């Protein structure tokens, strides 16, 4: 799924930065993790829109078939 790699890598960087006291690495990890979350949310929205469009297309196609018969 989109964004999962960034969420995982960001979490690792964040934890390593926290444990080692590296504020820069911790902040970078938080940013990367959040970017992954956004990417996942955007992909989820795209999937929903695509699914809805397919449902409408199928419905219209089905209605056309019924009108022809």
The predicted-structure confidence for 4-57, as pLDDT tens digits, reads as follows: 999 999 999 999 999 999 999 999 999 999 999 999 999 999 999 999 999 999
Q: pTM of the predicted model, to two decimals?
A: 0.69
Q: Provide the CA 56 distance to its chain's centre, in angstroms.
A: 23
Higher pLDDT, 8 or 60: 8
DSSP per residue over the chain, as a string?
A: -TTHHHHHHHHHHHHHHHHHT-HHHHHHHHHHHHHHHHHHHHHHHHHHHHHHHHHHHHHHHHHHHHHH-
Q: Give the domain range for residue 52.
A: 4-68
Longest dimension (CA), the chain: 73
Q: How many folded domains does the chain comprise?
A: 1
Handedness of CA 52, 54, 58, 60 (dihedral sign): positive
């Amino acid at each position: 799924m989109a964004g999962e790699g960034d969420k995982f890598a960001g979490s690792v960087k964040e934890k390593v930065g926290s444990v080692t006291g590296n504020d820069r690495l911790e902040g970078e990890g938080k940013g990367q993790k959040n970017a992954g979350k956004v990417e996942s949310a955007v992909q989820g929205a795209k999937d929903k829109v695509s699914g809805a469009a397919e449902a409408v297309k199928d419905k219209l196609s089905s209605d056309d078939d019924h009108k022809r018969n």
